[in-house]
A and B are shown apart, each in its own frame.
Chain A
Amino acid sequence: MADDVFEPKITAFVCNWCTYAGADLTGTSRLKYQSNVRIIRLPCTGRVDFMLIQKAFARGSDGVIVSGCHPNDCHYTSGNYHARRRWMVFNDLMEFMGLDMRRITFSWVSAAEGAKWATLVNEVTDHLRELGPYTEYQRLLNAGVA
């Protein structure tokens, strides 16, 4: 890792049945992607409390990925639909509060979309590298610690 290249810290919240399995498929297909992402496995996107996203940023993440089953494919039939609705309001509110929504990526990656996962992580990583560290949030952290 060269010193002058910024390596973003990315936290991903994924559902067990689609995206986690899809990321497994990326592995079994030996597709390569950048190693900045850390996956936190949850049963369903319905379990993704907006506070988890908040805490990931509070812990210094430069970006967050939330990913689960495509509509209609939810292992729990409708957890992803509930999640989607919550994100609709959360996004809107974050926008209103002036937070940088380019830092959050919502996605559907199915258990068969190993390639999509690799592309997604690479694109998000590259984009965050361009954006640079999430200083406007991390500044708050430092204020908090002080």
Chain B
Amino acid sequence: MDVLRNKARDLLAQGQVQVVIGYEAGTSGARRPSFARSEADAARLMWDADCVGNLAGYLTRPEIKKMGKAAIVANAATLRALLQLTAEHQLAEGAVLALVVTEEGAVLELSNAQAVTEQVATLPSSLSAADREKLERLMALSREERRAFWEQELQRCVKCYACRSSCPMCYCGSCTMDCNRPQWVPVASHELGNLEYHTVRAMHLAGRCVQCGECGRACPVGIPIHLLTCYAEESVRRQFGQPAGTSATLNYALGNFRPDDQESFIR
């Protein structure tokens, strides 16, 4: 941890970056995001197994961008989000310095997309074993049971949009949900509107989701909402073999095609 704090302090002191985005101790033993802008701030930074949040979402926020060049303490999902954001032209190549704490406690500085890509290639999938099992369990159910499951879950949604705010890939300034000419999705949090909202979000993240699970963690009423986007992403991987967040030049799976794509469902 000291290595990380020292590194952050040096980077700030030498003016190489103006902010280090990382984790610090939160209330009740959890970790919360930390924005270290001075050498003193750097002393608050932490790194341990509880640092699971994906901080990449902050990088596209105007208020963070204004701070100047950023370094980010990155776990696997954060690194993937960095690549995907670069592929989607939201981050300039080399604009962010990724700090990776190795198992040995050393800090790697990944300053460009190539370095991040190489690092990501060595990492296991972001989708946790528990989530993978949940997906499989749901798929094993009958259609009616799945419908009942989601109906049950989604009716609790209060449409607070915490899932959207926490998602690093939901950087759009003006979401379809906010579009009122026409009003595609009803604003109120009733069953139809909730179903439509979460379908739209999953479809919009298919081929883009880095499976960090941040949306599920953010949900205040505990809907495992990340399973939808993770499933949509899995669907893209399975059918087109293109995992999101593995390259800064990734071709968007739904913006491309193969003439021999599956066709059996079409009459």
In the complex, chain B residues 166-196 whose Cβ is within 8 Å of any chain A Cβ: 176, 184, 186, 188, 190-193, 195-196
With the chains together, A4 CA to B96 CA distance in Å? Answer: 67
Report the nearest B residue to A100, measured CB to CB. Answer: B143
Alpha-carbon distance between A107 and B266 when the two chains are bound, in angstroms: 5
**Contact between chains at B146 and A51 (CB < 8 Å):** no
For residue B91, CB closer than 8 A to chain A, the reply is no
In whole angstroms, how far apart are the Cα atoms of A97 and B236 in the complex? 16
Q: Given A58-B196, A98-B150, do A81 and B259 touch, yes or no (CB 8 Å)?
A: yes
* Partner-A contacts on B (CB < 8 A): 138-139, 143-151, 176, 184, 186, 188, 190-193, 195-196, 199-200, 202-203, 206-207, 228, 231-232, 235-236, 239-240, 253-259, 261-263, 265-267
Complex interface: chain B residues within 8 A of A126 (CB)? none
Let me know if A88 is at the binding interface, CB within 8 A. yes
How many A residues have CB within 8 A of the partner chain? 38
CA distance A78 to B261 in the complex (A): 12
- Closest residue on chain A to residue B232 by CB atoms: A93
Given A89-B232, A97-B146: A143 and B192 interface contact (C-beta under 8 Å): yes
Output the nearest chain A residue to B206 by Cβ-Cβ distance. Answer: A89
Chain A residue contacts of B235, Cβ below 8 A: 88-89, 92-93, 96
Given contacts A88-B261, A107-B266, contact A97 B254 (CB under 8 A): no
